[in-house]
Structure 1
Amino acid sequence: MTAQALVIGGGPSGLMAAETLVASGLHVRVIDRMPSLARKFLLAGRGGLNLTHSEPLERLLERYGPARPRLERALRDFPPDRLVRWCEDLELETFVGSSGRVFPKTLKASPLLRAWLRRLEAQGASFALRRRWTGWSDDGALTFEGPEGGETARPDVVVLALGGASWPRLGADGAWTGALEAAGVAVAPLAPANCGFRVGWSSFFAERFAGQPLKRIALTFDGETRRGEALVTGDGIEGGLVYAFSAPLRDAIARDGSATAALDLRPDLAEADLAARIGAGRGDRSLSTHLRKAAGLPPVCVALLREGGDLPREPDALARRIKATPLQLVAPQGLARAISTAGGVRFDELDERFMLTRRPGVFVAGEMLDWEAPTGGYLLQACFATGRAAAEGAAAWMRPG
């Protein structure tokens, strides 16, 4: 009789695990609590599906920080070029953007997902939806809440790929932490990653400038400076430049209660040149108008300068403020608005095959694991790679000897 494999979670990690298990000769069933599969994956594709990154592998591995040693084998076995070939095997061509990010030419997730599910079904995988995994019964069976009440299952091997806890309305709500902790598995607390932050804006600034972009700026925190763009929100700030600093900012706030970064509103101008422009020919113009015309600052940046208190009148001091506007961040935005999740199953609970040492035959993949990475394709790359690695571990565990 063909061995039975159960994959719990129908996102990228789970589907990659299912495909790998089918190829190993197992009968595979994928279970998901939502009415349809890979909902967050589909959302990620609305703005252009960033599958991976084209940078050299050694540089890509550095993006995973402290988790690199535990992810490296999976990423080397399924690196970006293999992910691109896998995508092209689904008859979806890819291209490399100007930033080095890799996208399908369709720029959407839905064609890829449809082709992938068709192939999985043709290979013999089956799917069961609207079923939430709730843990294990006293006699070791997997337990679920389904459309008709409680259900149990006793597969030969299991891959857990239930995601993190960001965008919970799309399916991954982190409820699995309770089931694993009840089984004695240590889970690092889930926290928002690649997230925005709350700022104590004045009511005037929040009402007037919410939704305004901050373009061509730079942010400095803890000795590191990056350029990019951000977006003012009604209660804070978000966007790619902010997401790049989300881990150190989040950790500093947890430690100190707040974190202060510095914004350079004109990173393309040296401070001395900026001071010279500000000091020349103001005439009877208001300071706001003068900063807009002489320093090239849009109204949102002028207002941002004022959020820190009265503006200095002396050109050198004003230039210093423009080049290092303090931005006090008081809290990360919640998990519901984060792009991804930090925390998860601690690696010391797993063997080198991603199997739970406390639950032999149960493997873990994707965002359930305790790692985080910046945006830019690194998130999906590791989800695909760990899904494949966990499934390979599961298939090897099933083989006698």
Structure 2
Amino acid sequence: MATGLVIGGGPAGLMAAEAMASAGVSVIVAEAKPSVGRKLLMAGKSGLNLTKDEAAGDFLAAFEEAAPVLAPMLAAFGPAEARAWAEGLGQEVFTGSTGRVFPKVMKASPLLRAWMARLDGLGVTVRTRWRWTGWRDGAAVFATPEGEQVVAADVTVLAMGGASWARLGSDGGWAGQFDTAPFLAANVGIAVNWSERMAEQFGAPVKAVALSAGGRMSRGECVITARGLEGAGVYAISRALRDGAPLTVDLMPDLTVERLREKLGRRRRGDSLSSHLRRAVRLDPAKRSLLMEFGRPLPEDLAPLMKALPVRYAGVLPMDQAISTAGGLRFAGLDAQLMLRDRPGVFAAGEMLDWEAPTGGYLLTACLATGLWAGRAAAGYAFSESTARL
């Protein structure tokens, strides 16, 4: 029987293991942490956004320069397939108003349990606390609680993640052994040196705003934290923010400057500015605080400022606080099947690859899609090599 090794027990690695085992390969999954799927479970704390229900072209466009490489993989496993996969594991899903798809239970643990049961039924062996340290005579070497372990497999799929959330297993420690593009924080918040008066707003959501930076615009919400601004609205434009592009926030995106100016002109005698903003345009405390933080000294005509409030920030937050990373294995070093050109029989998948995309279902779907692609290719390679040896 052909043998396969998967290094990394995240979504990409588990999908690769399933693809290989379904094809008849005897598979071992080696995971450095005490359990698999830790980042998946973390994502489940915010509902587990599985995918985005949108047209194939729009979905693919989210991957920007990596789109041409990922196109066949996402065509084979895109939003529709991600839904069907989750439903096949007994998880009902629903589509929210923004097109994001979630399990109805809004958590990852039932899906992961069902998935692990399926893999167990396929004969997949999971080894935890096995940290890959490199190669020796073509075999993979691991540091384990029982001492060094060496695994020689017909094919190997690398799925060791990017370089964010090190405590969950993605620490990028593998990068030194390959030709990689430098890791960069993606889907990350920005650091803000707040004045003392902002402390009372820490944890407050800033809803229904439009953020713009470097020609990118995001309509959504963010959260004021002690570190800065975080949340989906910021993450969507974090690529431009990472490059230092100026950031502006439209506090009232549903009103034109003229309409906002008209509303602001109806100030009651004796109203403080804070009361006036609350009464005239329903500006909540979080938005009022941002206006005072970044808009002072306030001009007489507030409307243009409220439509493009300049936000002073001190770069993006550290990479380990990012949802994901850009950088990783360069596609130039991989063939169309995601096999390393300089190491036949070794494939790669997931966030190890040099691509990035915004949150909203794109990340998880692409990890699953590349895992499936690499797993199927690895199985095909294993059997073709076995046939060649006969």
Shorter-chain TM-score range: over 0.9
User: Which residue in the other structure is 2:156 paired with?
Assistant: 158
Are the counterparts in 1 of residues 216 and 240 from structure 2 also a CA contact under 8 Å?
A: no
Q: Which runs of 5+ in 1 are unaligned?
A: 254-258
What's the CA shift for 1:151? 1.9
User: Which residue in the other structure is 1:262 paired with?
Assistant: 248
Equivalent residues in 2 for 1:206-355, closer than 5 Å: 207-250=199-242, 252-253=243-244, 259-308=245-294, 310-314=296-300, 317-355=301-339
Moved more, 286-295 or 60-69: 286-295
Are the counterparts in 1 of residues 2 and 154 from structure 2 also a CA contact under 8 Å?
A: yes
Equivalent residues in 2 for 1:1-400, closer than 5 Å: 2-137=1-136, 139-178=137-176, 180=177, 185-205=178-198, 207-250=199-242, 252-253=243-244, 259-308=245-294, 310-314=296-300, 317-398=301-382, 399=384, 400=387
User: Which residue in the other structure is 1:256 paired with?
Assistant: none
For residues 32 and 99 of structure 1, the distance between their equivalents in structure 2, rounded to whole angstroms, comes to 34
Judging changes above 3 Å, is the alpha-carbon distance between structure 1 residues 294 and 353 closer, same or farther for their aligned structure 2 residues? same
For residues 198 and 13 of structure 1, the distance between their equivalents in structure 2, rounded to whole angstroms, comes to 31
What's the CA shift for 1:380? 0.7
Give the superposed CA RMSD. 1.6
What's the CA shift for 1:309? 5.0
TM-score computed with the length of structure 1 as normaliser: 0.92
What's the CA shift for 1:217? 1.2
Are the counterparts in 2 of residues 194 and 374 from structure 1 also a CA contact under 8 Å?
A: yes
Percent of aligned pairs with the same amino acid:
49
Are the counterparts in 1 of residues 217 and 237 from structure 2 also a CA contact under 8 Å?
A: no
Are the counterparts in 1 of residues 210 and 217 from structure 2 also a CA contact under 8 Å?
A: yes
What's the CA shift for 1:80? 2.0
What's the CA shift for 1:120? 0.8
What's the CA shift for 1:299? 2.6
What's the CA shift for 1:58? 1.5
Which letter maps to 1:148?
E
Are the counterparts in 1 of residues 210 and 251 from structure 2 also a CA contact under 8 Å?
A: yes
What's the CA shift for 1:313? 4.6
Which letter maps to 2:287?
C
Q: Which runs of 5+ in 2 are unaligned?
A: none
Which letter maps to 1:248?
A
Secondary structure of 1:162's match?
coil
Secondary structure of 1:354's match?
coil
For residues 363 and 81 of structure 2, the distance between their equivalents in structure 1, rounded to whole angstroms, comes to 16
For residues 80 and 302 of structure 1, the distance between their equivalents in structure 2, rounded to whole angstroms, comes to 39
For residues 79 and 260 of structure 2, the distance between their equivalents in structure 1, rounded to whole angstroms, comes to 43
Are the counterparts in 2 of residues 305 and 311 from structure 1 also a CA contact under 8 Å?
A: no
Which letter maps to 1:69?
P
For residues 287 and 337 of structure 1, the distance between their equivalents in structure 2, rounded to whole angstroms, comes to 37
